[in-house]
Amino acid sequence: MADEGADRSPQRLEPAARAAVLRQAWSVGLATGAYGISFGALGVASGLDAWQTCALSALMFTGGSQFAFVGVVGAGGTGIAAIATATLLGIRNGLYGLQVSEFLHDRGWRRAVAAQLTIDESTAVGIAQPSRRGSQVGFWHTGIAVYLFWNLFTLAGAILGNQLGDPRRWGLDAAAAAAFVALLWPRLHSRDAAATAAVAVVLTVAVAPWAPAGIPVLVAALAAVLVGLSPRRAPSAPPASGGSS
């Protein structure tokens, strides 16, 4: 950690600034971790046992992929389909890793741990800090806080879910749909995203009656390719050096 702070960022954070980062990190951690309870309950409702559900939170540790995995399994999809869907959803974590490693500069076991903690929330809090040191503190504390609460609440949800009996009676199938739409919601801000969602609906509806469970979601991934490779719409594309996205 000797090489940090080469640019205008101070080596140490002011105590007040550090406290602000910590407050943000741990409140995001608690808020995000709390919905581990819905994942735990849905996991066992989908036919995983409590250990498998908890293993997903401890080892996979990326909410969208975890919900997708149990969703595909619960719908009767094959293991391959569940793995493929979860992995495709997790690709964004690889892109986060690119951004995070620009301010983290850790090596060895610290980098191995940082990789596991690289998710939506830790990346977002890390990037949001004005100084490099603040980014590091924000990333680590958010990652650790989410990991802690997410796993605790998953266990609680799995135990609770096992007591519930028929998941439909408690609306847990609708809870899964609600979870997916809540994960989707903040990503729908651009025209590209709206177009992608529309194409994904069409593809899913077209394929679902013919394909085994789990396959329609994978076919719908093509929507991202179709929209992503289509020419950009003219008005919002300034020439050359623009590109703030």
Partner 1 sequence: MTLWVAVLLACALAYATKLAGHLVPARRLEGRRMRRVTGLLPVALLTSLVVVQTFGSPTGGFVVDARVVGLGAAVVALLLRAPFIVVVIVGAVVAAGLRAVGWA
d(CA 143, CA 140): 5
Q: Where does residue 106 fall: left (phi above 0), alpha (psi -120 to 50 degrees), or beta otherwise?
A: beta
Minimum distance of partner 1 from residue 16's CB (angstroms): 27
Among 62, 131, 135, 136, binds partner 1 (CB under 8 A): 62
Site for partner 1 in 12-41 (CB under 8 A): 31-32, 34-35, 37-38
Asked if 175 is part of the footprint of partner 1 (rule: CB under 8 A), the reply reads yes
Three-state DSSP class for 129?
Answer: coil
Could you tell me which stretch among 14-22, 79-87, 126-134, 234-242 binds partner 1 (CB under 8 A)? 79-87
Among 152, 159, 160, 221, indicate the residue that binds partner 1 (CB under 8 A). 221
Exactly one of 169, 240, 242, 244 binds partner 1 (CB under 8 A); which one?
Answer: 169
Q: Which residues, in sequence order, are CB contacts of 132 under 8 Å at separation 6+?
A: 4, 5, 7, 9, 103
Q: How many CB atoms lie within 10 A of CB 208?
A: 15
Structure tokens at 74: 């619960």
Residue of 140, 170, 138 whose CA lies nearest to 37: 170
Which one, 20 or 197, has the nearer CB to partner 1?
197
Restricted to residues 177-196, the positions that interact with partner 1 (CB under 8 A) are 177-185, 187-188, 192-193, 196
Is 96 a binder of partner 1 (CB under 8 A)?
yes
Asked if 161 is part of the footprint of partner 1 (rule: CB under 8 A), the reply reads no
Which segment (4-12, 13-21, 128-136, 227-235) binds partner 1 by CB under 8 A?
A: 227-235
Which of 39, 244, 48 is CA-nearest to residue 153?
Answer: 39
Q: Which of 21, 28, 29, 65 binds partner 1 (CB under 8 A)?
A: 65
# chain residues binding partner 1, by CB under 8 A = 98
For partner 1, the closer of residues 25 and 100 by Cβ is 100
Q: How far is the CB of 101 from partner 1 (least distance, A)?
A: 5
120 in the Ramachandran plot: left (φ > 0), alpha (ψ -120 to 50) or beta?
A: alpha
Q: How far is the CB of 1 from partner 1 (least distance, A)?
A: 16
How far is residue 193's CA from residue 185's CA, in Å, rounded to a whole number? 10
Q: Per the structure block, which two tokens stand in for 57?
A: 């939170």
Count the alpha carbons within 13 Å of 215 in the hemisphere toward its beta carbon: 8
Outline where 1-78 has alpha helix (H).
15-34, 36-45, 50-55, 63-74
- Decide if residue 128 touches partner 1 (CB under 8 A): no
**Closer by beta carbon to partner 1, 12 or else 110:** 110
